């Protein structure tokens, strides 16, 4: 294949722009904000679960409290009725009187027990409330942190995308001036050779594979016509000659 030396040099410009695009794509993928946001998202999920648990505990204890207070009320009403009967003087039979008094005493003990239960539930409810409040505040702070990180990530991505768009436009311009068959060979090699299809021959060294050409290879390159498209014997990339090739 033949191509004018200037077109071969132009191919190096295309290569340099392609390398920049690859670097930008890599930067896009490896922004530290991605890892930071993943970490924050997992923390957020944990905190949300804890908050749901605390709020469930809060509503469970509220229900328990209502139920326990109803129990206290029932016992209190029954004790009040018994007391009324006792005070009315209508119960005169000693056995009935004794049974009534014993029931009143037993209801008083029951009421005490139930009131202790209510207090215990109230304590648990207050603890759950305090915990839910604390978790909600922590969650809010974490959400603000995540929003701030997402903002930073989006700004960085927008900057990278703007850079990439301008590099792509420049690349299209330069590539348009390279002969189609040379560009096609370059694209094929670039795909096979990890993103580098054309390399400068710099001080007798292929800048694609970094190997120095041996004397036979150098003589072949020296003998090649200026518009011959030379390939590196080692890595098969297009080897572009420049005044610094050391020939």
- Using CB under 5 A, list all residues that contact Zn ion: 206, 208-209, 232, 234-235
CB of 244 to Zn ion, least distance (A): 16
| Cβ closest to Zn ion, residue 160 vs residue 209 | 209
| Cβ closest to Zn ion, residue 58 vs residue 217 | 217
| Cβ closest to Zn ion, residue 79 vs residue 232 | 232
Please state, in angstroms and rounded to a whole number, the distance separating the CA atoms of residues 185 and 53.
63
CB of 239 to Zn ion, least distance (A): 7
| Cβ closest to Zn ion, residue 150 vs residue 211 | 211
Hey, which bits of the chain come out as E strands?
Answer: 198-202, 205-206, 230-231, 238-241
Question: Rounded to whole angstroms, what are the CA distances from 218 to 214, 230, 247?
Answer: 6, 11, 7
CB of 214 to Zn ion, least distance (A): 12
DSSP code per residue over 93-151: -HHHHHHHHHHHHHHHHHHHHHHHHHHHHHHHHHHHHHHHHHHHHHHHHHHHHHHHHHH
| Cβ closest to Zn ion, residue 126 vs residue 212 | 212
Burial tier of 84 (Cβ tally within 10 Å: 0-12, 13-18, 19+) = exposed
- The answer to whether 72 touches 114, Cβ cutoff 8 Å, is yes
CB of 201 to Zn ion, least distance (A): 9
| Cβ closest to Zn ion, residue 82 vs residue 220 | 220
CB of 190 to Zn ion, least distance (A): 13
Q: CA-based diameter of the chain, in Å?
A: 137
CB of 178 to Zn ion, least distance (A): 20
Please state, in angstroms and rounded to a whole number, the distance separating the CA atoms of residues 150 and 190.
35
Paired sense of beta strands 198-202 and 230-231, if any: unpaired
């Amino acid at each position: 294949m033949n191509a004018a030396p200037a077109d071969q040099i132009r191919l190096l410009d295309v290569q340099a722009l392609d390398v920049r695009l690859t670097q930008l794509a890599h930067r896009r993928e490896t922004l530290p904000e991605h890892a930071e946001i993943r970490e924050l998202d997992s923390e957020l999920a944990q905190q949300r679960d804890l908050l749901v648990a605390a709020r469930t505990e809060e509503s469970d204890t509220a229900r328990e409290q209502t139920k326990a207070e109803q129990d206290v009320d029932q016992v209190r009403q029954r004790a009040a009725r018994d007391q009324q009967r006792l005070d009315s003087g209508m119960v005169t039979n000693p056995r009935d009187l004794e049974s009534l008094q014993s029931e009143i005493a037993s209801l008083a003990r029951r009421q005490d027990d139930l009131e202790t239960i209510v207090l215990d539930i109230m304590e648990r409810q207050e603890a759950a409330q305090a915990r839910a409040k604390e978790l909600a505040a922590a969650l809010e702070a974490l959400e603000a942190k995540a929003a701030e990180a997402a903002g930073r990530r989006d700004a960085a991505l927008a900057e990278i995308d703007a850079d990439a768009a301008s590099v792509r436009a420049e690349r299209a311009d330069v590539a348009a001036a390279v002969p189609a068959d040379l560009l096609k060979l370059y694209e094929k090699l670039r795909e096979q050779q990890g993103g580098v299809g054309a390399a400068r021959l710099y001080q007798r060294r292929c800048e694609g594979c970094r190997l120095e050409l041996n004397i036979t290879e150098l003589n072949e390159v020296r003998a090649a016509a200026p518009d011959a498209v030379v390939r590196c014997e080692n890595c098969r990339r297009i080897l572009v000659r420049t005044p610094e090739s050391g020939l």
